[in-house]
Amino acid sequence: MGSRIFTVLFLFALLFATSAIAADPAELEKRAIEKHLWTNLQWINLVHYMPGIFGSDTSQVDGESFFFAPDGKTNPKAEMLATIHAFFRTPTAAELTKPKALTDTDVQAILKQTMDAFQNTAKPMTEAEREQKYEERKQEILKQAPDHPVCQFPARLRFLKRELGWGGEGLPKIECFKQNDFRRRIDAKSVSIVFSSFYLNNPSSTFGHSFMRVNSGLWAQYGNYRNELLDTGVNFAANVTTGNAAVYALFGMLGLMPGTFQTVPYYLKVREYNDYESRDLWSYDLDLTPDEIEMLVDHIWEEVSTFYYYKYFTENCSYHMFTLLDAAAPRLGLEKRLPFYIIPSDTIRVLYRTPGAVKKVTYRPSVRSQFFYRLKRLNPTEVAALNVLVDRHDPDRLDPSLPKESAARVLDAFSDQLEMTSVKDLLVDGSDAQKLKQRILIKRASMGGKSESIEVPAPERSAPHLGHGMRRVTLGTAYENDRGPSTTFGYRFAMHDMLDPGAGYARNMQIDMFGVWARVLNRPTGFRNRFEFDEFNLFKLTALTPLSRYYTAKSVHAELGWKKTYDRDCENGDHRCLPLTLDYGPGWTIDPTGTESISLFAFLQGHATWSPNYQRGNFRLGIGPRVGAVLYLNDTLRFMTFGEWQARLWANDHFPFHLETTLRWGFLPGVAIDATARRERDISEGLAQLHFYY
Amino acid sequence: MKKIISTILVSLFATTLAFAAPAAKKAAPAPAPHQQMAPAHNMNHNSFARPYGLSGCGLGSILIDKNHMQIWSMTTNGTYSQLFGISSGTSNCVESPTSAKADRMDKYIVVNKVALADDIARGQGETIQGLAQIMNCQGAEILGSKLQSSFATIFPSHNVSVNDITDHIISIVGQDASLSAACGVTMVSSL
């Protein structure tokens, strides 16, 4: 007993003594060295060190002002000690003064000056000169509000205080105006990772997108339920310096574009994804402690002032959400769980499986999901009334015999339908869509009465964390009527075709990227087995959008890659060659049941192929129909059949055709088996394959 | 770089235009020509002066001009997000830290305009709650139905400007006894 009291007293004394001594950088430095504190995982994460090829640490951060030590990027220890000393640096006058509010007038004036500087030079400036001028101007704006290290790196400070048992004694007296304002505005109570689902019409969002939402506590003052709109979105994005998609892709893959963190009001994200791009948003609410949340907000502050080179497939938007979380909560160790190449929906699956990370999943419907939910709730009379409005684009055609509540419901659905189909036009002043919308809403408002607030139920089986892994390895066996048996192999980098297990993905879409298929022909003994490529695929994209009176449907099928065909134009003995193939065609899809269980499709497909192994010229151009059906028996059992005919130019064989039927069954999570029958001209082939998703 | 500079020039041009035109309109409290320019409706039309126009920073321009929205945050050690609107307003609008209520509303409405019009016509909805929050309204349950009954005043035409929407909303709230108390809006001008 006595000894315990003594211990407690001793500890107290120690604590007192240390905190008194620690008011001095040298003492803190000594203690950090004793503890080897720079090896602490949180320090590693806060400065974003990653083990390099030769075992040395290198920070992923590319902004120089993120480091105090000259070799801080590669030296965690030097950086820690330099940080300690920087915190004690005497603040400059500018750092101490409350930043003069940079009013709009000031900004106007600065921009005006910049403009004048460019215009008033006698001879036209070179690009380099203009760039320099611009840079100078930027620096001038910057100087108006410099941050002392204490204010610039609150998370590092918090970490050092905690680990060194230091209360911040001896630090210069300084008020961090901007940082305080930032914290007050964000008012963080909890944090979510938000995933916006795939959006086929925009290639740069093919893989989905993820960002962070810091949930504010402000809403509590205003009502009983949560309003997300005024929360803060934290986004990591490339600063795109090109409008050219190809250049963007190239720069993105090579990591030539700087990427930065931005904080924006969440409503901006809602309007952008939910409304403008009609993408559902899924929120994964994180199970973080209040301390971790504080650390996170402080670290966001550190991150917004620096940059990383954006790497499309590795250090991308989703990746940096994870490094951000790891810095705040090293216990999660999220970054280590990621594969090398990162697709946003991968990160969602990883996040969901990480113990202690996610506590709740919520769903926010796109304008499209909202409309179809409203439609489902209308009774047949109301649907008939809505159809008249939709067909005639005229709210005055509303059936006057409808009761007021019905009429209101119909108009609400009509205005959602207009938003779903014409969102871009609605933002153009004077557009027909805008005029129509105005008329609908005037009519609706004049009826009075609150519309019921609709809660679109989450389509739980579409939740992205349920989706199969996007990479797929295939192993199978095949039999061709002319060449006999073979063993097949395949690998696909990403991501989903219509027959793959459907949970977590939308139906009626296929996006395949970077696939390789090959086979070994099993010859009778005495002959050498032969290896050949079946397909080397860059991308394959199919969108089956069923025709509907409520939106203009665009179905499309496109693919690019080297694809083996049986073709009498091929010089090879077995008439196989592997031409570079580009297929593209618009199409039409019918959903006869209205439940997305069957899709019947027809495309008018153009084909361009090039192969050095063709007889006569190397190039063929063809056009023809591609018709077929997809049958979704359930999420795991799916059937597809299609036929393709074409009429070709510059070919000996003018009318090749191709028929194919596949039944695939995802009998276990992550595993599927399928059977395929194929006919090309007079060659038939049967295939049985096993697919593993990871 | 060329792109960045041209963006700045263009946006400057746009803002100057916007600045020049509405500034004249907004500056004077209520001279006769102003009355003619204001949409004709039966209530006293109040303008809440702001130092800038919002032209060129709507959702459309943000999305269409998505590529340029981060021009200011490209620096290595900047805190531009603090100086400019990236953090609290819409991204290509300039943000004034001393912004008044009308200013905050402009930034909210410029992005949420379409959804807000929907919700006001329906008498309820998330964007109205958000608006109440932006306006600092305490317990304004009737805000939705009040705005709904004034829809034609708030949105007198299909292409009403954001500044005007804000002004109309403030006027309506200010003229309602319980709402003006709940939202702390007092009308200085009188008939």
Write the secondary structure of A358-406 as one string of H (helix), E (strand) and C (coil). EEEEEEECCHHHHHHHHHHHCCHHHHHHHHHHHHHCCHHHCCCCCCHHH
Of A63, A134, A442, the CB nearest to B152: A442
Cβ atoms of A491 and A474 closer than 8 Å: yes
Q: Name every chain A residue with its beta carbon within 8 A of the beta carbon of B138.
A: 221-222
pLDDT of residue A298 exceeding 90, the answer is yes
Interface predicted TM-score (ipTM): 0.84
pTM value is 0.81
Reading the block at residue B128, the tokens are: 């109205």
Give the nearest chain A residue to B117 (CA atoms): A441
Q: What are the residues whose beta carbons fall under 8 Å from the beta carbon of A67, sequence distance 6 or more?
A: A47, A59, A61, A73, A79, A82
The nearest alpha carbon in chain B to A131 belongs to B1
CA nearest neighbour of A171 among A89, A256, A291, A270: A89
Dump strand ranges (E) for A386-529. Answer: 472-480, 484-496, 509-521
In chain B, positions 8-47, which contact chain A (CB-CB < 8 Å)?
A: 8-9, 11-12, 15, 19
How confident is the model over A126-166, as pLDDT tens digits? 656 665 665 566 556 555 567 899 999 999 999 999 999 98
Quick one: what percent of chain A has pLDDT higher than 90?
56
Q: Helices A127-143 and A104-119, interaxial angle, to 10°? A: 160
What is the distance of C-alpha A596 from the center of its chain?
25
Residue A672: pLDDT band by 50, 70, 90 thresholds?
A: very high
Residues in chain B: 191
If one compares A192 and A133, the residue with the highest pLDDT of the two is: A192
Q: Locate the chain B residue with the closest alpha carbon to A132.
A: B1
Give yes or no for a contact between A299 and A329, defined as CB atoms under 8 angstroms apart. Answer: no
Judge: B91–A268 Cβ closer than 8 Å, yes or no. yes
Rounded to the nearest integer, the mean pLDDT of chain B is: 58
- End-to-end C-alpha distance for chain A, whole angstroms: 58
**Cβ contacts of A445 on chain B, cutoff 8 Å:** 120-121, 123, 148-149, 151-152
User: Which residues of chain A make contact with B18, given a CB cutoff of 8 A?
Assistant: none
> A478 to chain B, minimum CA–CA distance in Å?
48
**Whole-number pLDDT of residue A334:** 93
Residue of chain A minimizing CA distance to B83: A102
Provide the 3-class DSSP secondary structure of residue A507: coil
* Overall average pLDDT of the A189-215 stretch: 80
Angle between helices A25-35 and A76-87 (to 10 degrees): 160
- For A621-649, give the DSSP string: EEEEEEEEEEEESSSSEEEEEEEEE-EEE
Distance CA(B79)–CA(B102), nearest Å, equals 25
Q: Which two structure tokens, joined as six digits, stand for A537?
A: 């695929």
Across the interface, whether the CB atoms of B86 and A263 are under 8 A apart is answered yes
For chain A, say whether B7 makes contact (Cβ under 8 Å). Answer: no
Cα distance between residue A58 and residue A51, in whole Å? 6
* CB neighbourhood size of A147 (10 A): 23
**Residue in A107, A112, A276 closest to B59 by CB:** A276
Is residue B25 within 8 A of residue B34, CB to CB? The reply is: yes
Q: Among A140-154, A181-195, A323-337, B19-33, which stretch is predicted with the lowest mean pLDDT?
A: B19-33
Mean pLDDT of chain A: 86
pLDDT exceeds 50 at position B69:
no
Q: Which residues of A touch B122 (CB under 8 A)?
A: 408, 412, 444, 450-451
Residue B22 burial (C-beta neighbours within 10 Å; 0-12, 13-18, 19+): buried
Q: What is the pLDDT of residue A306?
A: 82
Classify residue A504 as left (phi > 0), alpha (psi -120 to 50) or beta.
left
List pLDDT tens digits, range A600-643.
999 999 999 999 989 888 999 999 999 999 999 988 999 999 99
The answer to whether B186 contacts chain A (CB < 8 Å) is no
Token digits of residue A256: 């030539």
A119 pLDDT exceeds 60?
no
